[in-house]
Amino acid sequence: MFNNLIKSLNFLSHNIYHINRSIPTVLFHTNSASFVNKQDKSLEEDDFDLQRKESAKIKNLERLGSIKSHISWPQYNRIIYPPTEDGKPIRNPFVHHMRHFVKYPAKKMWYPALMIRGMSIDEAIKQLSFHRLKGAHIIKEVLLEAQDLALKQHNFEFKSNMWISYSTAVDSFRVKGVRKHRAMRLGMVEYKYCTYYVRLEEGAPPPNYHLEAETYEARAKEYIEKLRKRSIYLSI
Amino acid sequence: MLSIINKRNIFLHQKLVKSLFEQTVTRTLATHWDPKFRRLRKNKFTEPTLLDFDSNTKEKVKRGIEPPTSFIYKPINITSSKEIFDPYIPPEGDGKASLFSKEFAKGAVEKITKSTSKKFKHLRLIKKSDSNFDENLFAETAQQIYIDAHSILSKRDPEEMLNFVTENALMKMYHNMKFKTIRWKWIESLEEPVVKHLVTREMMVKTDLYAQVTVRIHSKQILAVYDRFGRLAFGSDTLPKDVLEYVVFEKHLSDPYGSWRLHDKIIPSWSPAKTPVIRSFALPEPYKTDDELEKRIVSKFKGDDSHLEKIQEEKS
């Protein structure tokens, strides 16, 4: 009991630091999940300790850059664009959404994510519901959540007037285990987690998303525009 | 730093029920060519300590696991109250018909609220802290506070607004306006502002006193609310509108640094309907109120004016 109190106080200090920052919209599951299993093992480490250690590992990896940070993606939802004189918005309205720590390898998750790019939402949900992989159903849940968000918070008008402009799956971290082979040979097993990122935009999907440019002239134009868009980091 | 923390959007992963087709598809993938040694094969692998990121707290509580404890202590604010003490009931047809017309005489007599007879005693308590308190003067300063509070709204700075607005009103004004741009202009006042109602109340102890004053403001204003992306969502930038409001101002009398601030607005039921929002939307589900919770909530302010009886005794 007393040990748990001390651990919880240490956990508190982590928690407060997390709150005083600029407020992220996505909460780490680890911060809210401090469970104690009633059944067994008061002497060994609790789930509480494990969660804390894992979250510390994840934070360190994010600082180093080997995992993409989970906070920056939904912060794009907080940008406020000023009103224009014409009435047309500067930028096509969009919504960012993600789900992190999905227990599914990113290599497999990437295929349905690729399939979806450039589709309208209705068609994407239709196609995903009949897909063979488990990751497709997870993506479907994420899309429905994003649709609700867009309607309630970001002033999108119609439920089916959206299309998907960005969707990828990226691997986040792995837990290692061991398996036994024939004789005294052992092998390593990895349990993989991934994150899934989505951007929804308002309007009908563009007609040629995959075949953006077929002629040589159009491709040359794109190349030149890419070069001109570049900027030096931290320059004036 | 502000004590109000916005609720964070926690997305609950709602697991959808799979159709039969989906279930059969996933089952046919996970077959081995010789399933009879499946359980022995299982023993070759160590049990990994995988963490539950996908399940909710409700499912875990059903299984017997304790829910997480939160050690966040919420701060308490004494500088403002969360209610209107004795709400002023405005007469019907106030902004539409003049005093001497038929419509006004028929049914629209000003209903007497509880403590109008004790107005002078309330005034005396206020004058103990503010010696120069004049009703007519106060109405004009109150109008100026109203203008300042609304013109600062567009800056999205809650600390500046707390000079003109109490914490109760800040929650209501600041909540939905965070990701929008607002353009508000005050053109002119159509009638003089009038003080209609004065109340003071104690909070638990004799020495804590709060005062509330309702002021009637009739004015012309321009309001335009823009979206996160710069699209017009409500109102217009050029057309002005007539606005009749009964505004409540509050002051914490026993606080030496207290000041009169905008507290709340009384919107009567007979007021004209608002203009509709420009974009169409689906109606949300009706808001359900917890009856048990509301019974448990007890305000810390006494409902009586019993603290006024002591003034007569002192005089005599």
Q: How far apart are CA A45 and CA A42, in angstroms?
A: 7
- Per residue in B48-93, pLDDT (tens digit) is 777 666 666 667 777 777 766 666 777 888 888 888 988 888 887 7
Q: Distance between CA atoms of A150 and B193, rounded to whole angstroms? A: 42
Consecutive H or E run containing B31: none
Residue of B29, B48, B281 lying closest to A132 (CB–CB): B29
Identify the band that residue B164 occupies on the pLDDT scale cut at 50, 70 and 90: very high
Cα separation values, B1 from A176, B84, B160, B162, Å: 44, 26, 11, 11
8 A C-beta contact, residue B152 and residue B187: no
- 3-state secondary structure (DSSP) of residue B90: coil
Q: Are the beta carbons of B2 and B178 closer than 8 angstroms?
A: no
Q: What is the mean pLDDT of chain B?
A: 79
pLDDT higher at A187 or A8: A187
Element (H or E) spanning B78, and its range?
A: none
- Would the CB atoms of A151 and B282 count as touching at under 8 Å? yes
Q: Tell me how far CA of residue B195 lies from CA of B88, B99, B100, B215, in angstroms.
A: 11, 17, 21, 5
- Residue A101: the pLDDT is 84
Question: How far are the Cα atoms of A15, B93, B122, B195, B199 from residue B213, in angstroms, in the given order?
Answer: 42, 22, 10, 7, 7
The answer to whether A91 and B229 are in contact (CB under 8 A) is yes
Q: Which residues of B touch A91 (CB under 8 A)?
A: 229
Q: Can you give the pLDDT at residue B25?
A: 53
Cα B92 from Cα A142, distance rounded (Å)? 51
Cα(A111)–Cα(A133) distance, rounded to whole angstroms? 9
Q: What secondary structure does DSSP assign to B110-177, as a single string? A: PPP-TTSTTHHHHHHHHHHH-SS--HHHHHHHHHHHHHHHHHHGGG--HHHHTTTB-HHHHHHHHSTT
Nearest chain A residue to B40, by CA: A180
Give the range among A178-192, A217-231, B49-63, B170-184 with minimum mean pLDDT: B49-63
pLDDT digits (tens, 9 = 90+) for A139-193: 999 999 999 999 988 989 999 999 999 999 998 888 888 888 888 889 999 999 8
3-class secondary structure for chain A? CHHHHHHHHHHHHHHHHHHHCCCCCCCCHHHHCCCCCCCCCCCCCCHHHHHHHHHHHHHHHHHHCCCCCCCHHHHHHHCCCCCCCCCCCCCCCEEEEEEEEECCCHHHHHHHHHHHCCCEHHHHHHHHHCCCCHHHHHHHHHHHHHHHHHHHHCCCCCCCCEEEEEEEEEEEEEEEEEEECCCCCEEEEEEEEEEEEEEEEECCCCCCCCCCCCCHHHHHHHHHHHHHHCCCCCCC
Cβ within 8 Å, pair A80-B180: yes
* Average pLDDT estimate for B301-312: 75
Closest CB from A27, A80, A91 relative to B179: A80
Distance in Å, alpha carbon of B22 to nearest chain A alpha carbon: 7
Chain B partners within 8 Å of A54 (Cβ): 51
Please check the confidence at residue A25 and state whether its pLDDT lies above 50: no
Report pLDDT for A109.
95
Percent of chain A with pLDDT over 70: 73
Query: Which of the pair, B39 or A231, is modelled with greater confidence?
Result: A231
User: Average pLDDT, stretch A91-95?
Assistant: 93
What is each CA distance from B283 to A151, B280, B286, B287, in whole angstroms?
11, 10, 9, 11
Residue A27, pLDDT score: 41
Confidence of residue B11 (pLDDT cuts 50, 70, 90): very low
pLDDT band for position A23 (cuts 50, 70, 90) = very low
Q: Shortest CB distance from A54 goes to which of B10, B51, B233? A: B51
Output the pLDDT for position A168: 94
Confidence (pLDDT) at B212: 93
Q: In what order do the strands lie in the sheet with A162-180?
A: A94-102, A186-202, A162-180
Q: Which residues of B touch A161 (CB under 8 A)?
A: none
Between the alpha carbon of residue A66 and those of residues A33, A58, A187, B201, the distances in Å are: 24, 10, 25, 60
pLDDT in the model for residue B56:
66
Residue scoring higher pLDDT (A47 or B288): B288
CA B217 to chain A, closest CA, distance in angstroms equals: 30
Beta-carbon pairs below 8 A across chains A and B: 137
Q: Residues B229-252: what's their mean pLDDT?
A: 92
> Which residues in chain B are closer than 8 Å to A177, comparing Cβ atoms?
45-46, 48
Whole-angstrom Cα Rg for chain B: 29
> For B206-222, what is the mean pLDDT?
91
Confidence of residue B188 (pLDDT cuts 50, 70, 90): very high
C-alpha B171/C-alpha B176 separation (Å) is: 9
pLDDT category, B40, cuts 50, 70, 90? Answer: confident
pLDDT at A76 over 70: yes
Average pLDDT over residues A125-140: 94
Q: Which band of pLDDT confidence, cut at 50, 70 and 90, is reported for residue B115?
A: low
Q: Looking at residue B102, what is its pLDDT?
A: 58
pLDDT at A225: 93
Torsion of CA A223, A224, A225, A228, to 10 degrees: 130
Task: Give the pLDDT confidence score for residue A51 in this predicted structure.
Answer: 67
Name B281's Cβ contacts closer than 8 Å, sequence gap at least 6.
A151, A157
